[in-house]
Amino acid sequence: METLIKEPTTRNAKNTFNMIIESAINLFYKNGYHGTTVNNITQEAGIAAGTFYLYFPSKLSLYKHILIMFSHNIRRTIAANVAEKVTRYEKEREGLKSFIMLAKENPQMYNIIWESLYIDRALFKDYYESFAKRYIKGLNNSVKREEIRALDTEVVSYILMGVANFIGLKVVLDLGDNNDDIEHIVDVYMDLIKHGLFQ
């Protein structure tokens, strides 16, 4: 409906388009969606306010565009890294590690995706449900191959997604003491899901 974006064609226009997106990503991260005005964005991008509306019909449509870009990016990156691994154990390790590294290198991404819960709940749901769907498929395969135990894979997928997200949060927000070595965190996690918590 409102989400139609006028994709630029010429070299210069493409440049402007990308500047808008880049500026918006940084400002949304720093000040949040509601704390960022269209004028902030255009100023940061070095263009006039009106130029914004040549490409995006509204501030919200820009936000949605960025969100969709990011979610493709995350899924693609993680899927590619995980596909290189063979065993479920290695896949699990790689999945968490890729996610945390993405979050750390690109905290804007992490932040903007979570904020969608308060801007467009449907987008948020779509994102996590389709993420979960893929995850569940992978887990089901591993159950068939008898690599992992036959637990309810839907519940397991949400448990493991929860872990990744919260650790991502910890890394992004510098929660806790935080000299956090990603390898160390991933090691603790793998130890936990391999041997369990209890003696």
Partner DNA sequence: ATATAAAATGAATGGTCATTCAGTTTGTGA
Partner DNA sequence: TCACAAACTGAATGACCATTCATTTTATAT
CA dihedral (69, 70, 76, 79) positive or negative: negative
Shortest distance in whole angstroms from residue 86 CB to a second copy: 14
CB 161 within 8 A of CB 131: yes
Shortest distance in whole angstroms from residue 23 CB to a second copy: 19
Give yes or no for residue 86 binding a second copy (CB under 8 A): no
Site string for DNA, 35-64 (x = CB under 7 A): -xxxxx------xxxxxxxx--xxxx----
Cα gap 82→94, rounded to integer Å: 6
Q: Hunting for tokens 């000299």 — which residue is that? A: 179
Residue 10 or residue 179: which is nearer to DNA going by CB? 10
Instruction: Provide the Cα torsion 18, 20, 21, 26; round to 10°.
Output: 130
**Candidate list 21, 45, 92, 113; residue touching a second copy; CB under 8 A:** 92
Cα gap 130→175, rounded to integer Å: 28
Give yes or no for residue 119 binding DNA (CB under 7 A): no
CA-derived radius of gyration, the chain? 19
Please tell me the count of residues contacting DNA according to CB under 7 A.
25
Cα gap 138→82, rounded to integer Å: 10
Give yes or no for residue 154 binding a second copy (CB under 8 A): yes
**Candidate list 11, 174, 178, 198; residue touching DNA; CB under 7 A:** 11
- Partner whose footprint covers residue 131, from DNA, a second copy, none (CB < 5 to 8 Å by kind): none
Cα gap 138→79, rounded to integer Å: 11
- By the criterion CB under 8 A, which residues form the site for a second copy? 32-34, 88-89, 92, 114-115, 117-119, 121, 124-125, 128-129, 132, 146-149, 151-152, 154-156, 158-159, 161-167, 169-170, 173, 175-177, 184-185, 188-189, 191-199
